[in-house]
Amino acid sequence: MKISKQSLTIDFNLFIVFIFLMFAMVIWKVYHIAFVEGEQLKKLQNSLEKRNVPIPAQRGTIFSDDGKVLSAEIKRYLLEIDWKAQGINKTLLKENIDSLSLLLSRNLKDKSPKEYKKYILDIYNGKVSSDRVVKLSNVRVSHTNLKEIKKYPFFNLGRNKTGLLTKEYLYRDKPFGKLASRTIGEVFGSEGKGGSCGLELYYDSLLKGTPGVSVRTKVGNRYIHIEERNAIEGGDVYTTINVEIQDLAEQILQSKLEQLEAENGLLVLMEVKTGEIKAIVNLILCADGTYQENRNIAVSDQIEPGSTFKVASLIAALESGKVKLTDHFYCEKGLWKPFRNFPPITDANRNHGGYETLSVEEIIWNSSNIGIAKMIEKAFGDNPAKFVEALYKMNVNTPIDIHIPGFGKPHIKHPKDEDAHWSGTSLYWMSFGYELEMTAINTLAFYNAIANNGKFISPILVRKTISKEMDTQGEIYETEHYEETSVINPKICSKRTIRSVQEVLRGVVTDGTGKAANSKIVEIAGKTGTAQISQGSYGHSKSKHNVSFCGYFPAKKPKYTGIVIIGTPHIGYASGGTMAGSVFRDLAESIVSNEFIKGE
């Protein structure tokens, strides 16, 4: 059969048209899926969208020694209105708007009744925002307050008829305000960032807990949360702080700082046998004239202790066997220049004739720099390294960590240290607490060893922690961990020396520079200190001092050891006895009067 050329041309043209139509249909289908059906598919996808959403864990609680809450997580609620809620009865709203506005104004105190009336009506009429949910107030209310607000006229009709909603927020709260504030610590404002200082920071991994996970599924216009893993709330920390003693300590110290117009002050009190810290106060004068806990200076600051260090020198001298309590030293009438090219050593009363010959006891009672320097010269003048090693043997240079981040470390140089800057006068100046650095906690722990008959234990701030974990069955179980008292040195010196030093420290209070610390209610033993504050390469300031008192009570059967340091008092003559010693006495008497211990 013969096919004409014309017929072939027609068939070919039809084929081309067919291919073109098929191609056009494919393009149309792609367009339709992408731009028509695609939008519907996206909406369907969004309506079924699943996302993992973290469930915040409730932060654990910090407690006092008797179980009082020092820091805990609390809930606050933000009030919102869903003004498009289907059940809203605007007639009832108008009938109750006046009383509702009045009660909200009295409760929240951020708007007048008139302002609330206009604002509420504007919300429900869609004039405030096109958003469906609008804030009623910026005030975040407590759970108790929220329950009260829900009873107000109109709001008492329930969520569906009023559109009243709440948004929950977690806050860290300290029921006792600034009490031991820096020691307890703070948390960062942003959720999930944890502790920023103090115990809140040190125990952050325990306190913050473990977040859970929920799946957020969107069905239509609503999200449904399905928990896949429950959150595990944070563990708890039980401190040794006693709220009543802490409160007494803060009041007494702050009153003295205000009286003296001092730049800062600290007070720490610990139990002799257990090492438990019952009060720790750190007050710093702020620009607005108030005293606040901005830094934990009792733990962090390394300072030259001054005369409170003479007791360590006394023990070293007595233990050397070259000095006895019955020895006497000539104190040069208040000014002694052992080296021609170095500044002289002076006593506080040099302008009033100074001291002549004093016994070892009297040297400590009267806090003679010349006396203690001559005592140490006799014991260690031929070998200064042995003096430093005697101090090391007493562990006065041992760092003490009470679980407060940023704790300072003592620095007591040795003649053989490369960077010691040891000079001919170093032995003498170190004997009365210069050319070395101590923290208040270290000085406190050393004096506690004396009160504890030579047993040197580490102060502790936390007695117990409770961690919380989940087992394989999804049940939460708790594990308790107890902090044991750490013995740093079972015997810092001989019993004979300890008994002698205890008698000397009682004499400081009855017959020496610590008379202001003497009490008719409870016997106190301790040592005063008045140290010029170092200005670095400029030497020591003659107008700025740290005045201190460190001791224990009752003297015969010690229950507590404490330290008070007042920085740069601007009123009165700088004196460790009259300034810091009087604070120590007032606290000791308050503790006895409030029956925390019985008087002697």
Helix, coil or strand: residue 539: coil
DSSP code of residue 216: E
Identify which of 533, 526, 515, 516 has the alpha carbon closest to the alpha carbon of residue 264: 533
* Residue 50: pLDDT over 60: no
d(CA 253, CA 589): 14
> Is-contact 269 249, C-beta < 8 A?
yes
DSSP code of residue 419: T
pLDDT score recorded for residue 84: 87
pLDDT average, residue stretch 493-498: 98
* Residue 75: pLDDT over 90: no
pLDDT band at 12 (very low <50, low <70, confident <90, very high): low
Burial zone of 270 (CB within 10 Å; 0-12 exposed, 13-18 middle, 19+ buried): buried
Structure tokens at 492: 């810092």
pLDDT score recorded for residue 2: 53
For 282-308, what is each residue's pLDDT tens digit?
A: 999 999 999 999 999 999 999 999 999
133 strand-pairing partners? 82
Contacts of 436 (CB under 8 A, 6+ apart): 304, 305, 309, 410, 411, 412, 413, 430
Structure tokens at 464: 């117990």
CA angle 237, 238, 239 (to 5 degrees): 110
pLDDT score recorded for residue 35: 59
pLDDT average, residue stretch 567-588: 96
pLDDT band at 227 (very low <50, low <70, confident <90, very high): low
d(CA 475, CA 71): 26
Structure tokens at 96: 């109750």
d(CA 548, CA 306): 9
Structure tokens at 382: 């031929």
DSSP code of residue 276: B
Average pLDDT, the chain: 90
d(CA 481, CA 458): 18
Burial zone of 393 (CB within 10 Å; 0-12 exposed, 13-18 middle, 19+ buried): middle
Q: What is the dihedral of CA 189, 192, 197, 202, to 10 degrees?
A: 170
Query: Which range is least confidently modeled, 32-36, 54-58, 69-73, 549-553?
Result: 32-36
d(CA 298, CA 278): 14
pLDDT band at 402 (very low <50, low <70, confident <90, very high): very high
d(CA 451, CA 560): 9
pLDDT score recorded for residue 171: 83
* Residue 83: pLDDT over 90: no
Identify which of 136, 110, 106, 142 has the alpha carbon closest to the alpha carbon of residue 122: 136
* Residue 383: pLDDT over 80: yes
Identify which of 385, 497, 507 has the alpha carbon closest to the alpha carbon of residue 449: 497
For 105-133, what is each residue's pLDDT tens digit?
A: 999 999 999 999 999 999 999 988 888 89
pLDDT score recorded for residue 170: 80
Contacts of 468 (CB under 8 A, 6+ apart): 60, 209, 232, 233, 234, 235, 476, 477, 478, 479
pLDDT band at 216 (very low <50, low <70, confident <90, very high): low
Q: Which helix (H) or strand (E) holds 231?
A: none
> Is-contact 424 339, C-beta < 8 A?
yes
pLDDT average, residue stretch 45-72: 81
Identify which of 197, 202, 174 has the alpha carbon closest to the alpha carbon of residue 187: 197
Residue 38 vs residue 141, higher pLDDT: 141
pLDDT score recorded for residue 599: 45
Residue 446 vs residue 231, higher pLDDT: 446
pLDDT band at 23 (very low <50, low <70, confident <90, very high): confident
pLDDT average, residue stretch 436-444: 98
Share above pLDDT 90 across residues of the chain, in percent, rounded to a whole number? 72
Contacts 24+ apart (CB under 8 A), 102-107: 103/149, 103/152, 103/153, 104/136, 104/137, 104/149, 104/152, 107/141, 107/145, 107/148, 107/149
- Token pair 């820091």 is found at 71
d(CA 99, CA 516): 63
Q: How crowded is residue 167: how many other Cβ atoms within 10 Å of its Cβ?
A: 12
Share above pLDDT 70 across residues of the chain, in percent, rounded to a whole number? 89
Amino acid present at 411: H
DSSP code of residue 373: H
* Residue 600: pLDDT over 70: no
Q: How crowded is residue 472: how many other Cβ atoms within 10 Å of its Cβ?
A: 5
CA angle 161, 166, 168 (to 5 degrees): 160
d(CA 531, CA 210): 49
Amino acid present at 440: A
d(CA 368, CA 336): 11
d(CA 460, CA 486): 9
For 228-252, what is each residue's pLDDT tens digit?
A: 678 889 999 999 999 999 999 999 9
Q: Which domains does the chain have, with CATH numbers?
A: 244-455+491-593 (3.40.710.10)
* Residue 135: pLDDT over 60: yes
Query: Which range is least confidently modeled, 78-87, 222-231, 305-314, 431-440?
Result: 222-231
d(CA 267, CA 249): 7
d(CA 595, CA 169): 42
Structure tokens at 89: 């009865």
For 160-196, what is each residue's pLDDT tens digit?
A: 889 899 988 888 899 999 999 999 999 987 555 789 9
Query: Which range is least confidently modeled, 19-23, 70-74, 276-280, 579-583?
Result: 19-23
Tell me the whole-structure pTM to 2 decimals.
0.83
pLDDT score recorded for residue 44: 52
d(CA 346, CA 386): 25
> Is-contact 309 390, C-beta < 8 A?
no
Contacts of 40 (CB under 8 A, 6+ apart): none
